[in-house]
Chains A and B, each alone.
Chain A
Amino acid sequence: MIRTHRPRSLDLLNTRGHRSGLALFMVIVVAHWAEHLAQAAQIYIFNWPIPEARGVLGLPFPWLVTSEWMHYGYALLMLVGLLLLLPGFTGRSRTWWKISLGIQIWHHFEHLLLLLQALSGMNIGGGDAPTSLVQLLVPRVELHLLYNALVFAPMVVAVLLHRRPRADERAAMACGCAAHEDEPEHVR
Chain B
Amino acid sequence: MRRRRFGPFEVVILLAALCLIAVGASGFDQAVRAARADGAPGRFAVTSSDCVSHLGHSSCTCLGDYAADDGSVRLTGVPLVGGGDDCTAGTVRGAVDIGVETRVVDPGGSGEWVVTALILSAGTGLALWAVIPLLRRSRVRSAAR
Contacts and interface: CB of A to CB of B under 8 A. Distances in A.
A179 interface: yes
Interface string A28-62: 00000000010011011101111100000000000
Interface stretch (B38-46, B64-72, B137-145): B137-145
A159 B144 CA distance: 33
A140 B85 contact: yes
B144 A44 contact: no
A47 B57 contact: no
Interface residues of B, number: 39
B101 A47 contact: yes
B54 A72 contact: yes
B23 interface: yes
A124 to B, nearest CB: 12
A139 B3 CA distance: 45
A5 interface: no
B76 interface: no
A187 B1 contact: no
For chain B, what secondary structure do more than half of its interface residues adopt (helix, strand, loop), or is it mixed? mixed
Nearest to A144: B59
Interface in A104-128: 111, 113-119
A72 B57 contact: no
B7 interface: no
Given A41-B23, A41-B115, A44-B31, A114 B3 contact: no
Interface string B26-40: 110011001000000
A50 B61 contact: yes
Contacts of B8: none
Contacts of A51: 50
B144 A68 contact: no
B55 A68 contact: yes
B57 A187 contact: no
A64 to B, nearest CB: 13
Interface residues of A, number: 39
A47 B100 contact: yes
A168 interface: no
Interface in B95-130: 100-103, 111-112, 114-116, 118-119, 122
Contact of A139 (B27, B55, B85, B122): B85
A120 to B, nearest CB: 11
Interface in A155-184: 164, 179-183
Contact of B57 (A41, A45, A132): A132
Contacts of A117: 56
Kindly name the residue among A51, A71, A130, A185 whose own CB sees the greatest number of chain B CB atoms within 10 A.
A185
B27 A44 contact: yes
- Most A CB atoms within 10 A — which of B100, B119, B141? B119
A24 interface: no
A41 B30 CA distance: 12
A145 B111 CA distance: 12
B29 to A, nearest CB: 11
Given A47-B103, A139-B84, 6 more contacts: A37-B115, A37-B119, A47-B100, A50-B79, A68-B52, A118-B57
